[in-house]
Amino acid sequence: MGLARSGDGVRWAIRDRDGIFVGAAGFNSVVRERGSRDEVAFDVAWGYRRQGIMDEVLPAVAKYGFDVLDPHRIEAMVTPGDRASIALLERHGFVQEAVLRDDAFWKGRDWDQCLFARLAVS
């Protein structure tokens, strides 16, 4: 079952003006039990990175999250050293709150993750 259908999240394809797939963005999880937070995630294909695509997409995704999904906070997880993603999140109001040690498993090993968050405007 898909994320949107199950109510656990929602992801969108990102396409350029010619309709070519260049990435994806959305919410990997929606938490309403013992909290009110959604986890935003984004991926851009290698050939399209550092072109400002996510500077255009992330505000729209965050707005959808706050307006439609209505969490108290939106979180993002970033691998330490991913300076482009960290800078993107900071430009759009996300603040680093913690480093979670060995929180992710990928490519056969554990990785630390930086936890960023942006709170809903009260």
Q: In what order do the strands lie in the sheet with 21-31?
A: 10-15, 21-31, 37-44, 73-78, 109-119, 95-106
- Please report, as a single letter, which amino acid is at residue 61: V
Total domains, the chain: 1
Mean of all residue pLDDT scores within the chain = 92
Tens digit of each residue's pLDDT (9 = 90 or more) over 18-54? 999 999 999 998 888 888 999 999 999 999 999 999 9
Q: What is the pLDDT of residue 122?
A: 56
User: 10 Å Cβ neighbour count for 26?
Assistant: 21
- Please report, as a single letter, which amino acid is at residue 104: A
Q: What is the pLDDT of residue 35?
A: 83
What mean pLDDT do residues 83-109 have? 96
Q: What is the pLDDT of residue 5?
A: 60
Q: What is the CATH number of the domain that holds 115?
A: 3.40.630.30
What percent of the chain clears pLDDT 70, i.e. is strictly above it? 93
Tens digit of each residue's pLDDT (9 = 90 or more) over 53-69? 999 999 999 999 999 99
Q: What is the pLDDT of residue 34?
A: 86
Domain hosting 43: range is: 3-119
